[in-house]
Amino acid sequence: MTLTGKGYYIHIVKQCENGDPDRISALAREANLSHVLVKIADGAFPYNVDLDNGYDYARPAIKKLQAQNIQVWGWQYVYGDYPDQEAEIAVKRAMELGVDGFVVNAEIQYEKKSKASAAKRYMTILRNNLGKLPMALSSFRYPSYHINLPWAEFLEYCDYNMPQIYWVKSHNNAGEQLQRSVNEFKQIRPFRPIIPTGPTYKESGWLPTKAEVVEFMTTAKQLGLSAVNFWYWDGARRYMPEYWDLVRDYQYTDPVPVVSQPTRYITALNKHEPDKVVEQYAEDAVVLRPDRAIQGKEAIREWIASLVNAYSEGSFSLLGESRNEEVCSFQWEATSSSGKIVRGHDTQGLKDGKISYHYAFTRQV
């Protein structure tokens, strides 16, 4: 699946909205971000994990973002001295956190011809263990300036190239620098679709102008690049909030229609496949009906199967809905092939995007 839209890198989770995963996910949704990239490893060590008490700041933030249908990619800064250990922690963190993709951040430490074998070793372990999980390389904007970095060894295993288009100490040529970066990468093999990273940060007294950030995004759109992202959430929100607002308000892609929970639920019922419906429930979800209560996906599946089978040749229709924070109420109607009609009035409580409790009441018309 092609990565589209706008994204932001997170370096230190607890410095983003004080580490509040609800606030992080709410702001990402408000900014219409399609993806957030969270640092989960540095070298051979896990990252965004408290060394004193072991608390993992990345985990709840990732789950909350994913519950908002925002892709979360983990990223790791690599050094290349211990490629096996770096790959092992990357695989472990990516799998246990359930990220949607992975970014390899390789920079100055890899600017040695002798590091080519380390890059090959590291990337091979990642691909062998992460399967088809999409991966990207984050590195310098101009390969011609960094000829010793093992571009081919990294990009061979990647699905995307995310060059850092940072025009530090320069002004008024953001679009030109992006165009040059794309042109240079088209000259090396393998070529991978480019998703550029722009700057919303300060460095040694320099910062981009707002017009330059807009030019960067506009040029990316004109070049047909499916997505852009920015470095970095922590700094932009704390020190340059007006730049966060600028990215938030820029429409990079057409808005994606928000599909309500009741609509998703009725759509799943109309597929007449109980497993599709049960996917929406939490493992320990409870369904409360007038006659009895049932708990757990296995029991819920039996109930859904009986409902779907009763209208296997008919259809379910959504009559009305309302939502108050994480509680949805909706009315629906089902008609069988013989003309039998039943109406339902349901309330569902959501947690992390899954149904945790469900009050279900039906009556025959």
Instruction: Report which DSSP code applies to 162.
Output: -
Which amino acid, one-letter code, is at 319? L
The C-alpha atoms of residue 60 and residue 72 are separated, in whole angstroms, by 12
Dist CA 171 CA 219 (whole Å)? 15
What is the rounded distance in angstroms from the CA atom of residue 123 to the CA atom of residue 201? 30
Query: Whole-angstrom Cα distance, residue 309 to residue 161?
Result: 48
Name the residue ranges covered by the structural domains of the chain. 5-249, 261-364
Q: How far apart are CA 38 and CA 120, in angstroms?
A: 24
d(CA 57, CA 288): 34
Tell how strand 5-10 and strand 33-42 pair up.
parallel
- Tell me: domain 5-249, CATH 3.40.50.720, correct? no
Which pTM was predicted? 0.73
Cα separation, 151 vs 137, whole angstroms: 9
State which CATH number among 3.40.50.150, 3.30.428.10, 3.40.190.150, 3.10.450.50 fits the domain covering 261-364.
3.10.450.50
Give kind and range of the element (H or E) at residue 361: strand 354-364
Per-residue pLDDT of the chain (365 residues), as tens digits, is 579 999 999 999 999 999 999 999 999 999 999 999 999 999 999 999 999 999 999 999 999 999 999 999 999 999 999 999 999 999 999 999 999 999 999 999 999 989 999 999 999 999 999 999 999 999 999 999 999 999 999 999 999 999 999 999 898 899 999 999 999 999 999 999 999 999 999 998 999 999 999 999 999 999 999 999 999 999 999 999 999 999 999 999 876 567 889 999 999 999 888 999 999 999 999 999 998 999 999 999 999 998 888 887 778 999 999 998 899 999 999 887 777 888 999 999 998 889 999 999 998 87
CB-count exposure of residue 22 (10 Å: 0-12, 13-18, 19+): exposed
